Structure 1
């Protein structure tokens, strides 16, 4: 009897759905997800239950016409159902298309149409915002509602209707290099960039983080950033592959996150600096027991000294892992390094992102002609390896440009020192041009962030008749500290070249952030440019 193509595929493929099944077989009764809504209500699901639900949804989707390669979109805050849907799609080879719930309805309409979505899942609490465009989504064959609300639009299906049915794993021929997710890096551009990430990409990213940090099944991982973004989805799939219990919140609420770290003895999480800083400012930060924290990942922005100092006081065994990754590399670590205190920060520079990571990414720093730059010189980061995406969806022109020479050109600018430490300089598009000189925002932030009165800062350029662009900064001061604009400017002038020193500093109590809790510098720039005008 000869082996069939399906049997050979099932024998040795990499598939996210298979990884959940294996975890369910090994640890059936272990909590896979402990979930909390914004109002504190909680529920949980074991590995066996999660796998059974994903299988049932997979069978129901297939019975209703969803097949390998079809696109299924989800617009929702974090939930167990979001991951059930994702794994159901992984098991049948369909594509999960997460949609940013912060987008305006016309932008959502554009992405649904552009991606050729067949089924669209929407959280009940977000339906009202979507109502102006729902009747324009003519390509969608079926709408499904997430959430407990008993009322829903006519013709819509409740998610629970997909749960009764067969619970055995469906067997579909899915190659390791088949697409698992189509995730948009920007939903407001006329030609959005849709990142095509394969099952093999996710496996490579899992292995990269595991090898460089050392996650184990004994960890307890807090997930509060939105699943609609690559980092959150990647870390969830990593945890469910490792048999790690995920403690998930519906949205990132710092006070609640602190309570859950204490309640569940959380050991690991992955957050941008904005949220680590926000938690320090919470009234329960120093009253809760946070000593279990040991492996916290940070990315997306310069690390402020106040962040490291604040957490060191409450979590003596905590190590912060500074990493560099992006959606196009499946949030895999391109560089990574760890510190336990600010004294360990190389050169005292919060732009540090570690050393080239083991296994999944190879990187170079190059000039505009793709030639390697010397030590100490900033260059664009280009990468290759098994975690790099398959390409951008329906965007062959951009694919040809970013993949030239067999390397993915990230658009990120970095430099390295003689010891191999890598430091993030800026995104090429965010660089300030002041008086004919290039100013990297992250360099200025790394200096401002060391001032004892500064909790958080963001540097950006403002239009200026003399300089073209003037360096400006928004600052949140530490609680109980008093500092003036003149003092901070002088502090920078003593440590930076004159053209890099901020011309204006604006004090604030909060920063504008995205759904992924990244600083929105474009909003700061627009706000202050308008005010100054």
Structure 2
């Protein structure tokens, strides 16, 4: 199937149901479908051929979502551009991905002017909310476009989108997603989370990442997308109540902020069916708090840009194990492999490891990207032994649950012992005063690398180094306990909310010839 066929399936369920809703716009599936026809036909009239790249650069907004659907409708390749990225990073992505058409929000007018200099391949600019300095207003631009489906045939192995890989270390790579990758992800989604009625999905995290992906997938079930411009705890809890939200995605950092919201337990979350979390490990203690506040709805997935979102799945039912010591440990896992995606543990020589043994998490199947855009060397590097290498260290238990121990590159070697920061972070996250933390290795004459915790405290809370170290020693022993603890007002984060350990490490390794 083409990706746009899944949206059309949602139209067929109920064309008069609300499809997209934000602070200023509310449109039905039928109306959004007609908009996608006109945008696709206007792109073709402007000379953009099927298979050429187009991008949308906007905060979360209903009109931006329509532009994405129009790009897909025209069999063009969608390049998501995160509004939270630096202008320089976005210019690199646009140029590296050979983008020729850019839909942008007027909020980024100055950045669009810079792109005109830095990205010479872009030949078509359209401003989505009003006329730009040198760009037509979207509504004027599509005024004469036909409201008929161009109905362009597509190969399921043809790329239809190019996502950026992380970008926390070096320049981001363009990750090719074909129609088949999307089809597999959507199949994994609905076999893991079947729906009984049209969902209501809250888009609050950036729509250029997981929140947008979940939104596109749920459209196949006729889901209404309630779109917020960004994360605000008060608005999130109010919207869940007033709109009857059934599905939403947030990264753990935002979930911690939601839990800290005053009066969180006084709100009604009974409409929620799946509160999806992913993108980073989550504190087991915080997860238990989520179950108390939101009920039996917590849903974990694991994936990455190269094998998106649904490599593994931990269902709401599998979260309800508190009080059962044998099963409660599963809350530290990311679930079991999804239906269409084999997941295994591999050593450095390509051998698959038995349960309990640590190694790199590897995946294969149609969920895996066909490769990086214009980067065959990097593609080959992550594809050895016939599996995609995630760069995550983990293990499987006897029941097939996958546990992520750490990123391969984040491992600390202290006094000859391998120390995995996420184990220590899990303990520190459980301290009642801790908002977030990062554990890294820092240079040390005796140990080579010493374990250091860098902590962001909750507003108004206090803690000291001795109690953090004592907590870790009690739970993990002296080898894994931090040798030192720093308290920072806030931890550096990427545009999608991940703590940037690379930036924290550079603070302590600056000026040295080695970083391990």
The answer, yes or no, to whether TM exceeds 0.5 is: yes
5+ residue gaps in structure 2?
511-516
Q: Does 2:124 align with 1:142? A: yes
Pick from 330, 336, 343: which aligns with 1:355? 336
Deviation (angstroms), 1:212? 1.4
Structure 2 vs 1, CA of residues 119 and 58 (structure 1 numbering), >3 Å: closer, same or farther?
Answer: same
Q: Deviations over 1:288-316 (max 9, x none)?
A: 32232231111122222443343334333
CA distance in 2, matches of 1:72, 1:489: 50
CA distance in 2, matches of 1:218, 1:313: 26
Contact 1:15 1:174 in 2 (8 A): yes
CA distance in 2, matches of 1:511, 1:293: 30
5+ residue gaps in structure 1?
1-13, 36-40
CA distance in 2, matches of 1:287, 1:108: 41
Q: Does 2:385 align with 1:398? A: no
Q: Deviations over 1:452-493 (max 9, x none)?
A: 544433222222232222212233456776543211211111
Q: How does 1:421-436 map to 2 (within 5 A)?
A: 421-436=401-416
Q: Deviations over 1:240-278 (max 9, x none)?
A: 111111211122222211111111121221111111111
Match of 2:165 in 1: 185
Contact 2:203 2:212 in 1 (8 A): no
CA distance in 1, matches of 2:406, 2:253: 17
CA distance in 1, matches of 2:187, 2:283: 29
Match of 1:43 in 2: 25
Match of 1:234 in 2: 213
CA distance in 2, matches of 1:395, 1:199: 20
Contact 1:183 1:195 in 2 (8 A): yes
Contact 1:363 1:382 in 2 (8 A): yes
Match of 1:407 in 2: 387
SS at match of 1:238: helix
SS at match of 2:345: strand
Q: Does 2:133 align with 1:112? A: no
Contact 1:391 1:399 in 2 (8 A): yes
Match of 1:75 in 2: 57
Q: How does 1:266-281 map to 2 (within 5 A)?
A: 266-281=245-260
> TM-score under structure 2 normalisation?
0.91
CA distance in 2, matches of 1:157, 1:166: 18
Is the deviation greater in 359-368 or in 131-140?
Answer: 131-140
Pick from 262, 281, 299: which aligns with 1:321? 299
Deviation (angstroms), 1:395? 0.7
Contact 1:223 1:247 in 2 (8 A): yes
Q: Deviations over 1:198-222 (max 9, x none)?
A: 1121121111121112234332211
Match of 2:70 in 1: 88
Pick from 211, 220, 226: which aligns with 1:247? 226
Pick from 95, 98, 103: which aligns with 1:121? 103
Pick from 148, 151, 154: which aligns with 1:171? 151
Structure 2 vs 1, CA of residues 267 and 137 (structure 1 numbering), >3 Å: closer, same or farther?
Answer: same
Deviation (angstroms), 1:400? 1.8
- Report how many residues are paired: 507
Deviation (angstroms), 1:321? 1.6
Contact 1:304 1:455 in 2 (8 A): no
CA distance in 1, matches of 2:266, 2:315: 29
Pick from 202, 216, 228: which aligns with 1:222? 202
Deviation (angstroms), 1:390? 1.7
CA distance in 2, matches of 1:344, 1:200: 40
Deviation (angstroms), 1:144? 1.4
CA distance in 2, matches of 1:411, 1:110: 24
Q: Does 2:291 align with 1:304? A: no
CA distance in 1, matches of 2:278, 2:63: 27
Q: Deviations over 1:398-456 (max 9, x none)?
A: 22222223211111111122232221111112222222322111111122233454443
CA distance in 2, matches of 1:186, 1:157: 32
Match of 2:470 in 1: 490
CA distance in 2, matches of 1:344, 1:260: 34
Is the deviation greater in 178-187 or in 211-220?
Answer: 211-220
CA distance in 1, matches of 2:495, 2:323: 32
CA distance in 2, matches of 1:343, 1:459: 29
Pick from 492, 497, 500: which aligns with 1:512? 492
Deviation (angstroms), 1:126? 1.9
Q: Does 2:359 align with 1:379? A: yes
CA distance in 1, matches of 2:123, 2:177: 24
Contact 1:472 1:504 in 2 (8 A): yes
Match of 1:3 in 2: none
SS at match of 1:333: strand
Q: Does 2:460 align with 1:473? A: no
CA distance in 2, matches of 1:326, 1:475: 26
Deviation (angstroms), 1:137? 2.3
CA distance in 1, matches of 2:369, 2:78: 15
Structure 2 vs 1, CA of residues 63 and 344 (structure 1 numbering), >3 Å: closer, same or farther?
Answer: farther
CA distance in 2, matches of 1:372, 1:433: 24
CA distance in 2, matches of 1:190, 1:477: 29
Pick from 243, 268, 277: which aligns with 1:264? 243
Is the deviation greater in 220-229 or in 128-137?
Answer: 128-137
Contact 1:312 1:341 in 2 (8 A): no
